[in-house]
Amino acid sequence: WATGDGGVRWRIDSGVTVIAKRGGVVDSVDASRIVVRVSDEETIAGEPGVDIYNLTKYTRSNQNTCINQRPLVNAGDAISRGDVLADGPSTHLGELALGQNLLVAFMPWNGYNFEDSILISERVVQEDRFTTIHIEELTCVARDTKLGPEEITADIPNVGDAALAKLDEAGIAYIGAEVKAGDILVGKVTPKGETQLTPEEKLLRAIFGEKASDVKDTGLRVPPGMDGTVI
């Protein structure tokens, strides 16, 4: 910043942090909300004497990054107008904080960093120093087709119990499920027209009834190269 009040302007203008609108005393704090009992000096007749700040929790940004606000105050803390109540992404105690501070050495190391190779400490990986959370939004639509409507369901023909283990009764992956590429996120079946049955399909029809041959699996699966937790 060209001026000396860059940190102040960042806190106020960015919208990333939560700033106190009025002074008072923090009444209660949890991960998703901060309640402030406003001081008598700043309370105007006709306005409520309590300010409630709802925090943004694990929300997807337009760049698929994670927006998460963390409270910085405790119940009973006295605050003033303009104080930072909660940190946001890329901030620490209300100030812009990007990246990590690492000790870097330009030196040979038994040939392991020859030419464009580099060495990093195992702690960088073990402590997740550069690990970031990305939120991907995947969509599955059930449409009406010429042969009938598609159905969201956990009853999918020719799919084993292990593949359905992470789906709830409605056929949707439950919150907290750890998934990897190829796992079913939403079970969906689509009607298909009658075709000449193979011996295997005839056997499935005899075992499972009509459904095994009348519909095909068109569910939403985790794309290649992606793994994570359903939120």
Query: What is the model's pLDDT at position 3?
Result: 41
Domains of the chain: 1-135 (2.40.50.100), 144-229 (2.40.50.150)
CA 135 vs CA 59, 60, 92: distances in Å = 8, 5, 22
Residue 7 has pLDDT above 60, yes or no: no
Quote the mean pLDDT of the chain: 85
Q: Is the pLDDT of residue 54 over 90?
A: yes
The 10s digit of each residue's pLDDT in 10-52 is: 555 667 899 999 999 999 999 999 999 999 888 887 788 899 9
- Of the CA atoms within 13 Å of residue 128, those in its CB half-sphere come to 3
| pTM attached to this predicted model | 0.67
Rounded CA separation 156/207 (Å): 14
142-152 mean pLDDT:
86
Assign 52 to helix, strand or coil. strand
Is residue 230 within 8 Å of 222, Cβ to Cβ?
no
Residue pLDDT, tens place only, 160-210: 888 889 999 999 999 999 999 999 999 999 888 766 667 777 777 677 665
The lowest-confidence range among 76-85, 99-108, 150-159, 200-209 is 200-209
Please tell me what DSSP assigns to residue 17: S
Residue with tokens 């990986």: 125
